[in-house]
Amino acid sequence: MGLSGRWLVAATMKKASLTGPPKGTVSPGDGNFVTMKKDTKLPLSGSGVVEIGKPLPSAMVVGGDLKPIDIGAPTGKVRIISVVPSVDTKTCEKQTHQLSEDNKGLDKQVEMITISRDLPFAQGRFAKEAKIKNVTFLSDYNMREFGEKNGLTIAPLGLLARAVIVTDKDNVVRYIQVVPELTALPDMQAAMKAAKELL
């Protein structure tokens, strides 16, 4: 399978048979780009890339208590990691609400995570105002390792690309969609289906 195929095709594991690639995705990392309103190309950058079939790269992020957390450390749970540029935009807000409210009870078995480069205080305010209690918010604002090690940094903006990642109980990446157009939503239902099939 070629390089593009590794990014576009959802891997199969013994308890998961994913139905195919997301509706639209781009490869993470240097040499690739996303668009803003379809007419502005924004290059992606990073020293590494997130890749299906490999462990999620070790990267330190910060929780609401400002303590560092290694997102690459296995937790023994299937995880849906929703990556947004900023919770203070309408598209990111909708993406986060979909993760929280449209998961059909999946949050009882799957860890729901939102990562952005917003300050943890802003993430906490957003969660409180939105009444979201079933999503863990993590920030890449400080060390910026998550974007760098996964190839998800939008270089000109210093923000994270819009993406959704599903990891299995061993923290191996089994599904990824990096949304080509920054103002568009990822296919959250496809990600949730992928996560459910890993249980």
Domain boundaries, the chain: 3-196
Q: Does the structure show a pLDDT above 50 at 5? A: no
Confidence of residue 4 (pLDDT cuts 50, 70, 90): very low
pLDDT of 18 strictly over 70: no
Bridge partners of residue 175, in order along the sequence: 166
pLDDT, residue 22, reads 62
Element (H, E) at 116: strand 111-116
pLDDT digits (tens, 9 = 90+) for 130-175: 999 999 999 999 999 999 999 999 999 999 999 999 999 999 999 9
Judged against a pLDDT cut of 60, whether residue 2 lies above it is answered with no
Taking 3-state DSSP, the helix, strand and coil percentages for the chain, each rounded to the nearest 5, stand at: 25, 25, 50
pLDDT of residue 9: 31
The hierarchical CATH code for the domain 3-196 is 3.40.30.10
Q: Are 165 and 176 in contact (CB under 8 A)?
A: yes
> Which residues are catalytic, by number?
92
- Tokens 């330190």, residue located: 60
Number of Cβ within 10 Å of residue 19's Cβ equals 9
- Among residues 49, 55, 44, the alpha carbon closest in space to that of 79 is found at 55
Average pLDDT over residues 1-24: 40
User: What pTM did the predictor assign?
Assistant: 0.89
